[in-house]
Structure 1
Amino acid sequence: MKALRYAALAALFLIASLGMLYLAPAQARPKQNERISVFAPRLPKQGLLVLHGSSNAGLMRALILDYQRLHPGVEVRYSHLDTQELYDRALRAGNGPERADLILSASTDLQVKLVNDGYARAHRSPQGQALPAAARWRDEVFAYGYEPVAMVYHSGRLDPAQAPRDRDTLLRLLRRADQPLRGRIALQDPRDSAVAYFIATQDSKQLGNGAAPLLAALGAQRAQPYKRMDALLDRLSEGELSLAYGVFGSYALQRIERGAPLRLVLPRDHLLLVARTALIPRDAPHADEARRFLDHLLSPRGQTLLAREAYLIPARPELPPPAAYRGLLGAAANPRRVPLGLGLLVYLDETKRRHFLRDWGAALGTGAAQPGASRR
């Protein structure tokens, strides 16, 4: 009898342990380079929604929980993946054990390519039609928010009075005789990151003839390329760096909210606004659930929530930007939203990509990109 009691207690302990692992949002066992968060349903499970996204789960948490308030029987599984992995999985999703119902990515060019190559399904709804034409394409890929591409500096390492407000003042700072930024300025490495490649190509396009001198000046001051935006901001927050060029505003604001001594600069010459986009894969297992979540994402309620909690500028033009950006956006002379469409595929041409990365590496003094380098 005693042995039976021990066995029963062990079984109860195991069940309780499994239950604790399942409480929302719980971390499931990840695959390599994947972080999975499980948001358990509020009522007995009636449906499942699998999201694959490039934002960390913290940025999407409030939106997912709000969706579950409206649909309390739906379990949501969110996989945080690099943008290149999101794209690669969409190509082979039919063989995957857990296929995505909705793909949320900041690599707008790769999302447009998925649509162009027939890997997405159309979704027509009043919420999608409410977006400007430049924020949706073929009713298959939709901008659900915009990221300002910013400069960020450490207020203890760089005097705010000297901090650049546009690229001309940045260039002058880089060329100063006392070299205050030498070895202490950073940017993302487009050779190792799909989203960094997209940002770099779009920034170069906007700068035109001004792109080469700026990149050369960054190289002369030994600018440090980083594979991960989070790692870059870690070093900046710790004071190992003084300034970062070309990072997403939402990532910087998360650090500032947690007390990091950082300040955000939205460049006054031109401000690049990169769309975070959503699409429903062609073989989405729970396509109807994906449509409902996408409509929630694009609705005024969802957009307002994302602006407040994730620091995204709404895709719906009638909604205000996050409060943290309002004064800064007023100073930005020329906000430019990257429109969705075939034009974004230009730099995905392999020859163009190879030449761009070769020139980028040469200007920065870091050598050419390695063949087959990973892009995340």
Structure 2
Amino acid sequence: MLKNARHALSLLTVSLLAAPAVQAQAVPNGYPASYASVIDGAKKEGKLIIYSSTDQASAQPLIDDFRKAYPFANIEYNDIGTSQLYSRFLAEAAAGTPTADVLWSSAMDLQVKLAADGYALSYASPESKNFAAENSYQNMAFGTTLEPAALIYNKRLVKPGDLPATHAAFAALLSGGKLTGKIATWDPEKSGVGFTLTEYDNQTNRDFGAVSLGLGKAQAGLYSSTGAMLEKVTSGEALYGYNIIGSYALLRQKTVPDLGMKFWKDGTIAFQRVAVINKASKAPNTAKLFLDYLLSRRGQLVMANQSLIYSLRGDVAGKATRATLTQAVGGAGNLKVIAVDKRLLDNLVPANRNTFLNLWRKNVKGQ
């Protein structure tokens, strides 16, 4: 009995001595030891509520891997359109009802506005050292991806010779009279990311006027989601989709081989999917874990190889990475990256917004 008791005591001693090492291993490599307090705090919190414009199919590999890293995390993921995400959060915050702890959206301007208006938690992420200044706004709004706005097309119906390489060539194709009712693009009046992409296209593309007039002549269908446009193109109802989120097209190509995607030789826009932690979050520590995971090399590897969302970090290898995108668009000089900064707020100034939308309505809708 005495021998067994001593053996049990020995095992207990080893277990107790090993406990700090187990806790230390939970802190990601390169993070400060004090990060253990964030992990411990998260273990005491309840459900993490995420509002996101990222499709569930793209986000699920990330959620699954995050749960492997932090098995105690309880996540409620809400797939919501960009404009609805913004308005729903503001309404719930004003009413004091339960709302999101993390907002992850491709509507960059709306995300930065949440930060500028005092809704975002200021957080010095240990991952910030791995990103450039253009990837975050005052430690409150964080770019997590680098996603191109691509031209998608139906391979069965579009001949290789009919693929325009530049915006000027696309404008000429649109004005040729053969694509009436065969084009899909964003409705910037109904989609937050649609407005961001279309307005930035107007800022940086010298042929935007000709393209928008061509979209009007071709009676382009206007949509508020990438999914709807992908369906139109894959079914053949539309031959081309303009300024479509390339990551979603890349994922769809896994099951739809007839879906093609092309980038512009005269400049391809790339936006960043922006993450914000609610300043009034009920689960702030878990929210920090999730944000840091999205920014981490581990999370970005999952993006690049499973979610097929183009990763932002430069030290990630895979199918959808900064390196593969840069090569696909013909070099870094052809990649027009929208920065996460206060200039995005100019898009939301009523006079600026109305000036652009009036141009859009005139050219595309003939109003």
* Bucket of the pairwise TM-score, normalised by the shorter protein: 0.7 to 0.9
Contact kept, 8 Å, 1:53 with 1:103, in 2: the verdict is yes
Say if 2:55 is the partner of 1:56: yes
In structure 2, what is the Cα distance between the partners aligned to 1:227 and 1:119? 25
Equivalent runs, 1:22-41 vs 2, <5 Å: none
Give, as a single letter, the amino acid of the residue that structure 1 aligns with 2:154: H
Deviations, residues 308-338 of structure 1 (Å, cap 9, x unaligned) = 1222222222324635996664242411211
Equivalent runs, 1:1-376 vs 2, <5 Å: 47-94=46-93, 95=95, 97-176=97-176, 179-208=177-206, 210-320=207-317, 322-323=319-320, 329-333=326-330, 334-367=334-367
SS at match of 2:253: helix
Contact kept, 8 Å, 1:314 with 1:321, in 2: the verdict is no
Shift of 1:145: 0.6
Shift of 1:126: 1.8
Shift of 1:260: 4.7
Give, as a single letter, the amino acid of the residue that structure 1 aligns with 2:128: G
In structure 2, what is the Cα distance between the partners aligned to 1:360 and 1:319? 38
Structure label with greater radius of gyration:
2
Give, as a single letter, the amino acid of the residue that structure 2 aligns with 1:183: G
In structure 1, what is the Cα distance between the partners aligned to 2:96 and 2:239? 43
In structure 2, what is the Cα distance between the partners aligned to 1:66 and 1:327? 23
In structure 2, what is the Cα distance between the partners aligned to 1:93 and 1:226? 26
Shift of 1:57: 1.3
Deviations, residues 110-138 of structure 1 (Å, cap 9, x unaligned) = 01111111110111122123211110111
Deviations, residues 274-300 of structure 1 (Å, cap 9, x unaligned) = 000101011111001100111111110
Contact kept, 8 Å, 1:266 with 1:328, in 2: the verdict is no
More strand by share: 1
SS at match of 2:250: helix
Contact kept, 8 Å, 2:107 with 2:273, in 1: the verdict is yes
Kindly tell me: are residues 295 and 107 of structure 1, through their superposed partners in 2, closer, same or farther at Cα, counting changes over 3 Å?
same
Contact kept, 8 Å, 1:105 with 1:111, in 2: the verdict is yes
Identity of aligned residues (%): 29
SS at match of 1:203: helix
In structure 2, what is the Cα distance between the partners aligned to 1:325 and 1:235? 28
Q: List alignment gaps of at least 5 residues for structure 1.
A: 1-43, 368-376
In structure 2, what is the Cα distance between the partners aligned to 1:65 and 1:48? 15
Give, as a single letter, the amino acid of the residue that structure 1 aligns with 2:100: A
In structure 2, what is the Cα distance between the partners aligned to 1:328 and 1:53? 23
Contact kept, 8 Å, 1:153 with 1:244, in 2: the verdict is yes
Q: TM-score, normalised by structure 2?
A: 0.82
* Counterpart for residue 4 of structure 1: none
Contact kept, 8 Å, 1:134 with 1:340, in 2: the verdict is yes
In structure 1, what is the Cα distance between the partners aligned to 2:71 and 2:321? 31
Contact kept, 8 Å, 2:303 with 2:320, in 1: the verdict is no
Contact kept, 8 Å, 1:266 with 1:329, in 2: the verdict is no
Contact kept, 8 Å, 2:215 with 2:364, in 1: the verdict is yes
Aligned residues: 321
Kindly tell me: are residues 300 and 328 of structure 1, through their superposed partners in 2, closer, same or farther at Cα, counting changes over 3 Å?
closer
Q: List alignment gaps of at least 5 residues for structure 2.
A: 1-42
In structure 2, what is the Cα distance between the partners aligned to 1:131 and 1:328? 17
Shift of 1:366: 4.9
Q: TM-score, normalised by structure 1?
A: 0.80
Kindly tell me: are residues 267 and 149 of structure 1, through their superposed partners in 2, closer, same or farther at Cα, counting changes over 3 Å?
same
SS at match of 1:73: coil
In structure 2, what is the Cα distance between the partners aligned to 1:150 and 1:356? 21
In structure 1, what is the Cα distance between the partners aligned to 2:265 and 2:317? 20
